[in-house]
Structure 1
Amino acid sequence: MSVTQIVEEALRAYQPAGIPARPSSLVRKGPLLVVPASSRKVSHEEVEAALEAMRREGR
């Protein structure tokens, strides 16, 4: 391909940026955007038990 063909292809593929759409399912938590939990809450004890099980398995 010649340089002209490459530039023409790039111009054909270019889509100008519009107004950025804000994802409605994301919530800002400090510097992060996170998906709000829609399932049950996980207790601190369950998290600690899962972490301890992973440590015992050697992962």
Structure 2
Amino acid sequence: MIMPEAVRTGGIMETKKIAAIAEIYYVQVSPHNPNNALCTVASLHVMAIIPNAPVMEFVDDQ
């Protein structure tokens, strides 16, 4: 399993490209999200467009 951050990898489309490469090798993607609500939304958007993302790491520090 790989854990890219949409904010640090270059955005939603770059993260989608990473996920596409991972899918070729049957690797699952779990977006890493230790940041704010905007990053959570970006990660959820990524998960909506890739088939190999079963879970998202989420830290609720409120």
Indicate the TM-score class for this superposition, using the shorter chain for normalisation: under 0.3
What TM-score does the superposition give when structure 2 sets the normalisation length?
0.21
What TM-score does the superposition give when structure 1 sets the normalisation length?
0.22
> Which structure would you say has the larger RCO, counting Cα contacts within 8 Å and 6 or more residues apart?
2
